[in-house]
Structure 1
């Protein structure tokens, strides 16, 4: 038996470096335990396994308090970029620059600033983008803006959006409609003949948004032109109650869209002007992402689907085919998640009076596709969770998507954690179709707004 002085000497020796090493070891063991493997199912009982594999606010608001948590962990998949985009990156390497106003100059096609491993390889490391570059954040934001997205653009022949209150307990509106976006310039898929849908076009892309239901919104339409020269967007809206077409000011892009928690800037996690925001790179990290959903939800459950138009409106029961929770919006029930190398960009709006002081956005490094985001209010408090669920084009049930080599969206969601209001969009029949310049001229025309509104 040890006497008091002996015990004291032993404890003194034990408590210095050895005790510290023991505590560090226990801490590291705890961190090591917070990991997942393909085949794991994450529920409320073992949710600690994903702590650190999702953004902290996502864990705090969407995982930790949620009793019905059910996340399926699957193998990390490879999503190779399209050969045409690789060709363009090599052909136009080291030409793009960012001026003092943050606008992109001398860009033609491909990845503007070689950041992805494949891009650095095909450009022989001649102009690798690295964190040492003082413009690293904004250059990475431009890379995201001009990531490979399948070439022609996106066609949503049928989308649905829900408006919810009380943490998803009350769905007070389900809207349905059509949407299309067409890229006019910087088109790698059109090489080697051209990179523009129309010669010398000043348009980067155009989009058309048409609401079919509910009755009070039916006939509401938006037409938007995004330009390549840094000019502010031209945006028009047809409002049935006013029976006229009106312009939307650029500052209204941060306003609520049709009574939802979304702003026009929130789509694709960020769809505003890159040059009108400050960008900070906050590092790379392996996170869980719902990159390739295996679920078939709305509107594919309606049966026959046209690639260019809505066939019929869906019912409320069809809308609820797949469960999204918590908040009636988040993909934490039955979705498939894989570990993905991601990078974080912090978006700081320059606009005075913007509702966000900043937005943390996590992008998939391999594809540059958006994953999750957290927006903060002007006081710096967590404000909104924004997310997306993807589908790999080669696994898509839509034939038009095969051979596009891109992650397509199937769902978007947003949650106001301060009010618990939320919105969720479903459009799992998204496709990538090629439209001619003649058809695009007719489709993206302000006079069409008036004709469609009659």
Structure 2
């Protein structure tokens, strides 16, 4: 439909000119050439030009313009391509369409698998909650994720690369699975862990959360390396900072929470945005050393946290506002999430502090890939959280350590008792 609307727009415009009709205002700008670089040097000359027939000025969302003008973000403008959906996701969604419900406490009920709420209605006051459940509770990005290892680059905007940290990220869905059985435990939504494995001074830092389907606060576990024991932590630790990084634990893989732990979720509307849907960034060069290992980053150019220019195209997004509770460090979360059913990707997000001031921005991209189990689905190619107040950032790119739906994965290897083994 999006391409049809754009084609109709071009036909009507061409017809009006051909008939000699007078058109109010300036003539439509010509589309920019594919691969045009949008950056701080070119932004003023490009804002009133078009991409796929749409003015570029209206495609920048959230804090994108600020990140371009003040902090060196760069985009390669490219025509849009279709968004592909994970193999089997739409079939499961159709099979279970209409089953899922929200109860009076906004908890997800009567859910087995597939996109819980494929037919979002913006007039529905619960649409924001339903969209977040679509992101979190279905295995559209993998029933099992085993990212071992991923490298976090800890970056000062003034001094450059400070540290390279190795982390293990693991997630195992216990319900909402694409694979059969679709539900392994009706009471548990997922296990999710983020564990530091190097350098030695931070090795063992991390948490594992057990998220439940009844929306209770999670069980949170940490491995205490000095004691060589796993210890249960306060449930409030789910939103604590990840030591040595710019992440909060509820930021992992975009979101790690239950929607009910926030005061509210609202869809503010739909719009078109410039996003990375078909990334061209290179992966980590694991045979290189030093900065050469990270060809996806511009580590020699201040503020040092920016990626190499990636392909940005127009996609339709939901603009979503999440308001955490008063004890959270974030005052407001603004997110731009893809509207394609079965691919609710978090393309861009901005966080505001308790004073309402811009605090952090998260951006990145993905591409289609073949998973370990043979499915085709999205895989992340880049991710960064920038603290614009501290001029500091944590970034990561794609490496061979990314595994989605690896064969033989068992819940026991992702549960609290497995924390020590994540260091092996």
Q: 1:159, 1:254 → 2: CA distance?
A: 21
Q: Is the 8 A contact 2:209 2:218 kept in 1?
A: yes
Deviation at 1:296, TM superposition (A): 1.7
The reply on whether 1:422 has 2:393 as its aligned counterpart is yes
After superposition, give the CA deviation of every residue in 1:333-372 in whole Å (9 maximum; x if it has no partner): 32121111111110011x2221111110001112211111
1:449 counterpart (408, 419, 423) = 419
Aligned to 2:9: none
Gaps of 5+ in 2: 1-21, 47-55
1:302 counterpart (286, 290, 295) = 286
- Provide closer, same or farther for how the CA distance between residues 82 and 427 of structure 1 changes in structure 2, counting only shifts above 3 A: closer
Aligned to 2:58: 52
Residue 144 of structure 1 aligns to a residue whose secondary structure is helix
Aligned to 1:122: none
Matches within 5 A, 1:144-223: 144-165=135-156, 167=157, 169-190=159-180, 194-196=181-183, 198=184, 200-223=185-208
Matches within 5 A, 1:38-437: 38-48=34-44, 49=46, 50-60=56-66, 62-66=67-71, 70-82=74-86, 84-115=88-119, 129-165=120-156, 167=157, 169-190=159-180, 194-196=181-183, 198=184, 200-241=185-226, 243-277=228-262, 278-298=264-284, 301-302=285-286, 315-324=289-298, 327-331=303-307, 333-349=308-324, 351-366=325-340, 367-394=343-370, 400=372, 402-404=374-376, 406-429=377-400, 430-436=402-408
Q: Which has the larger radius of gyration?
A: 1
Q: Is the 8 A contact 1:202 1:228 kept in 2?
A: yes
Deviation at 1:279, TM superposition (A): 0.7
Deviation at 1:281, TM superposition (A): 0.8
Q: Is the 8 A contact 1:302 1:318 kept in 2?
A: no
After superposition, give the CA deviation of every residue in 1:38-74 in whole Å (9 maximum; x if it has no partner): 33232433213344322242211x20135x6642222
Deviation at 1:378, TM superposition (A): 0.4
Deviation at 1:87, TM superposition (A): 2.2
Q: 2:87, 2:198 → 1: CA distance?
A: 40
- Provide closer, same or farther for how the CA distance between residues 211 and 71 of structure 1 changes in structure 2, counting only shifts above 3 A: same
What is the root-mean-square deviation of aligned Cα atoms in Å? 2.8
Q: Is the 8 A contact 2:62 2:349 kept in 1?
A: no
- Provide closer, same or farther for how the CA distance between residues 208 and 318 of structure 1 changes in structure 2, counting only shifts above 3 A: farther
Deviation at 1:33, TM superposition (A): 4.8
Q: 1:419, 1:195 → 2: CA distance?
A: 43
Structure 2 length as normaliser, TM-score? Answer: 0.82
After superposition, give the CA deviation of every residue in 1:15-48 in whole Å (9 maximum; x if it has no partner): xxxxxxx9x825xx6xx65975533232433213
Q: Is the 8 A contact 1:369 1:407 kept in 2?
A: no
Q: 1:76, 1:33 → 2: CA distance?
A: 18
Q: 2:266, 2:74 → 1: CA distance?
A: 33
Residue 114 of structure 2 aligns to a residue whose secondary structure is coil
Give the structure with the higher percent strand: 2
Question: What is the count of residue pairs matched by the alignment?
Answer: 386
Residue 88 of structure 2 aligns to a residue whose secondary structure is helix
Matches within 5 A, 1:1-16: none
- Provide closer, same or farther for how the CA distance between residues 346 and 101 of structure 1 changes in structure 2, counting only shifts above 3 A: same
Give the structure with the higher percent helix: 1
Q: Is the 8 A contact 1:269 1:361 kept in 2?
A: no
- Provide closer, same or farther for how the CA distance between residues 440 and 135 of structure 1 changes in structure 2, counting only shifts above 3 A: closer
Matches within 5 A, 1:11-26: 25=25
- Provide closer, same or farther for how the CA distance between residues 417 and 34 of structure 1 changes in structure 2, counting only shifts above 3 A: farther
Structure 1 length as normaliser, TM-score? Answer: 0.77
Q: Is the 8 A contact 2:35 2:76 kept in 1?
A: yes
- Provide closer, same or farther for how the CA distance between residues 221 and 421 of structure 1 changes in structure 2, counting only shifts above 3 A: closer
